[in-house]
């Protein structure tokens, strides 16, 4: 195995060829070499290898510290991005609510004045029938025939039956209205 200290260091600032695995492997190799040097009573080599081991242990700690900084920065960035996402979601919800409320006000005003069409600058506003009828159940759910039940009233089955001509006491199917904007012609 090629020892990390024998590797060619890459050129350029901030380049570190040592991984945590390299450092751990190097620590093990140095410890084995220290044991061999002690057995051979080569105390100069033991001293030299001990200094090298201390450097490798420092590198190990530095690598951990650098990793922790990256983790903390990533978590902080993620939290900041989540806050931004929440803020944007809140803004989007607020804008949607403004549009919904203003559309309802226009629709209510048109209804109050009996208007079906209003010219508004470059727009024409008109009330149109919804494409799907609104189902309203006017009686307590337990008074509906059983075939219209799931756990609660089966609105899909009720809608289908009434659309097909069935009459169900206490239930009506009506198409509501909404407004649509289009450029003037």
Residue-wise pLDDT for 33-88, tens only, equals 999 999 999 999 999 999 999 999 999 989 888 888 898 899 899 999 999 999 99
Q: Which of 91, 114, 137 is the last residue of a domain?
A: 114
In a domain, 23, yes or no: yes
* Same domain flag for 89 and 124: no
As a whole number of angstroms, the distance between CA 70 and CA 78 comes to 12
* Same domain flag for 102 and 128: no
* Same domain flag for 110 and 169: no
Whole-model pTM? 0.48
As a whole number of angstroms, the distance between CA 155 and CA 136 comes to 9
In a domain, 47, yes or no: yes
* Same domain flag for 35 and 101: yes
**Do 153 and 137 meet the contact criterion of CB atoms below 8 Å apart?**
yes
- φ and ψ of 3, to 5 deg: -80, 140
* Same domain flag for 56 and 108: yes
* Residue 181 CB contacts under 8 Å (≥ 6 apart), including other chains: 123, 124, 125
């Amino acid at each position: 195995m090629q020892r990390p200290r024998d590797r060619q260091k890459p050129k350029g600032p901030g380049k570190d060829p040592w991984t945590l695995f390299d450092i751990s492997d190097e620590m093990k190799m140095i410890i084995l070499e220290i044991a061999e040097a002690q057995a051979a009573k080569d105390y100069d080599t033991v001293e030299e290898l001990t200094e090298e081991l201390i450097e490798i242990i420092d590198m190990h700690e530095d690598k951990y510290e650098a990793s922790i900084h990256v983790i903390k920065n990533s978590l902080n960035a993620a939290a900041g991005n989540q806050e931004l996402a929440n803020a944007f979601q809140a803004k989007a919800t607020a804008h949607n609510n403004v549009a919904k409320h203003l559309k309802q006000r226009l629709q209510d005003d048109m209804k109050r004045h009996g208007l079906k069409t209003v010219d508004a600058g470059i727009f024409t506003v008109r009330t149109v029938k919804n494409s799907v009828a609104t189902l309203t159940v006017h009686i307590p759910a337990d008074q509906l025939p059983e075939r219209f039940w799931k756990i609660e009233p089966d609105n899909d089955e009720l809608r289908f039956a009434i659309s097909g001509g069935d009459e169900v006491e206490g239930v009506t199917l009506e198409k509501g209205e909404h407004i649509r904007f289009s450029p003037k012609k």
